[in-house]
Amino acid sequence: MRTLSIARTLSPALAVVLLVGSSSPASARHSKNKGDLQQAAVTETAPTGSAGQAPPAKEPTPASVPVVEAQAAGAPTPIAPAAAPPTPTAAPVHVEQPIPPAEGATAAPVTPAAATSSPAPRSEAASAAGSLGEEPQPAAVAPPVTEIGIQRLPGSAYPEPLTRGLKYGSLWLTFHGLQWPYLPAGPKGERFVIGLSGWGWFDTAYEKFGPWGQNQTTLKQSSIKYWKGQGRMLARITPTYSFGDDMFIQGQVELVGSGDQTIQRYDVGGADTDDLYLRFGKWNSWDLTAGRFEGWEVFHLGMGLDQNTFERQGAVGPGESSYPISFYGLTDNQFRPSAATNLAVHYYPLNILRFELLGMAGTINNQPTYATRPVAILDLGWLKLKGGIEYTHGTALQAQSRADTVKKGVGGAIQFVFDPHIEFGFNIAQGTILAYDEVHREILQGSLTRTSLGGFANVSNGSARHPIILGIGSLWTRSVDQNAPVRATAVTDNYWLSQNFIALQYVAFQQLYIKLVGGYSRGHWLAAGPPPIRFDDEMYSVRLRFAFYF
């Protein structure tokens, strides 16, 4: 490659000055500074490092191109190859004739250091002195960010397209198959929110049993009276992602604290988790729900006989534990299973019409079990019709055994709401239990027919500031074993249970529910024996509840 030497174009006297000046200490420091500037001039990205030194150049000057300093130029100038584009240089120095350099003196070329990639962005390179970097590119448009939030569930999360019932009443606290918590995306198109809600209640109750009849063991065990304290606090966490076309994915867990620390998880009110499910679908259209949750309610009890209370068990004392009886309201598969998983499809073809097809599978009472429970609700607001059927099949654990249990049931309800003062309803349901032994013969004494019917009524003063609700209700249940149709003249197990209540509720600050419930229950047992025995029991109860819904 052909190169051009500036020394040949300078006068002999000026060349001597250059050589002598470059050998002095001051000129050496000046040369060093100019060398740094020259190095920066050929560096594409050159931010200052932590030690005050510029990092190596990104693109080095070819080794064959010598670079010399020109005192008159005031800055180092690289001499580019002929093929390279012209580089701006300082103003030329006019001389009369060239002279060779002094004997033994040469102009030492300055060679740049090896190049490495700079870690700094191009925007920093553009601001560095002497940088030849490219102009920074405009920043890419950031993708839209999904709205994220944690919030206490607002009133809109509890849908009420048609009246659910008298405000603060028992029907109003029921959602009649509606999708809730209802957390759609809104106008922004998509949203992720973690909803917080829950409730807590504390009861103080007094119960007294008064049995009579032929069974002396039962009379002794059930002649009791006691005070009972119960409490439950539930925290509900509901993460929900809603996106385009009203689609959503939702999870829910309900964590429970129990006031009675002497009970086990399988006792009444002892569970430490209520809901635990995942759900996805389309708001107001359909969804699929899997996990631990309750099926839709059909049989409504009113302002008393609250779930997870001993009041709900009625006049079934310790002495009647061998003769169990409880109300049946299409409830074999309604409540949360303890050792199984529910899977339900919900369909909403109309604003007033809702369907649930619930399935269940698991091992319950040492029986591999599967079940189904379809329910339909027609909700006109002032009139609600509910009905459903259920089927449960449990088999023996041993593969060679043919023992199994089959449960079937059907039930329905009609409810009226004349807002804001009165609501009432009637319910009826019947279910059968068929038990078979290891060779698949029916066990008649263990096969039962259960029938329950009842009604309730709530009356409100309609006040928004000081709401007061009076509620009454009655429930009657009968259980008869399958010996009855086979041995019509023989004595068979025949039990019935009556449960009645009156309740008065006041709501303070629209959040604090104060309810006083008085109850009376009576049970009658005719046991086949042998020998046949007949006895009765009754229970009086009073209960004061403080509840907070949030």
538 pLDDT exceeds 80? Answer: yes
367, two tokens: 């029986």
Average pLDDT over residues 208-225: 88
* pLDDT score recorded for residue 67: 37
Cβ(443)–Cβ(436) under 8 Å? yes
State the chain's mean pLDDT as an integer.
Answer: 79
Q: What is the DSSP string of 59-82?
A: SPPPTTS-----TTTSS------T
164 pLDDT exceeds 50? Answer: yes
Whole-model pTM: value is 0.72
354 pLDDT exceeds 50? Answer: yes
Q: What is the DSSP string of 453-470?
A: EEEEEEEE---SSS-EEE
339 pLDDT exceeds 50? Answer: yes
* pLDDT score recorded for residue 247: 95
Residue 478 burial (CB count, 10 A): 18
Cβ(395)–Cβ(415) under 8 Å? no
Q: Lowest mean pLDDT of 95-104, 182-191, 415-424, 448-457, name the range.
A: 95-104
* pLDDT score recorded for residue 267: 76
155 pLDDT exceeds 90? Answer: no
What's the chain's length in residues?
Answer: 550
Q: Which CATH number fits domain 147-549: 1.10.260.40, 2.40.160.10, 3.40.50.300, 3.40.640.10?
A: 2.40.160.10
* pLDDT score recorded for residue 48: 40
* pLDDT score recorded for residue 446: 82
217 burial (CB, 10 Å; 0-12 / 13-18 / 19+) is exposed
* pLDDT score recorded for residue 45: 38
* pLDDT score recorded for residue 495: 93
C-alpha to C-alpha distance for 356 and 296, rounded to whole angstroms:
7
Per-residue confidence band for 146, with pLDDT thresholds at 50, 70 and 90: low
**Which of 13-22, 91-100, 279-288, 315-324 tops mean pLDDT?**
279-288
124-135 pLDDT, tens digit per residue, is: 333 344 444 455
Residue % of the chain over a pLDDT of 70 = 71
* pLDDT score recorded for residue 255: 96
Average pLDDT over residues 285-310: 95
C-alpha to C-alpha distance for 470 and 300, rounded to whole angstroms:
16
C-alpha to C-alpha distance for 278 and 419, rounded to whole angstroms:
34
Maximum pairwise Cα distance, the chain: 146
391-408 pLDDT, tens digit per residue, is: 999 999 998 899 999 999
* pLDDT score recorded for residue 349: 98
Domains in the chain: boundaries: 1-46+58-132, 147-549
**Which of 79-83, 276-280, 335-339, 446-450 tops mean pLDDT?**
276-280
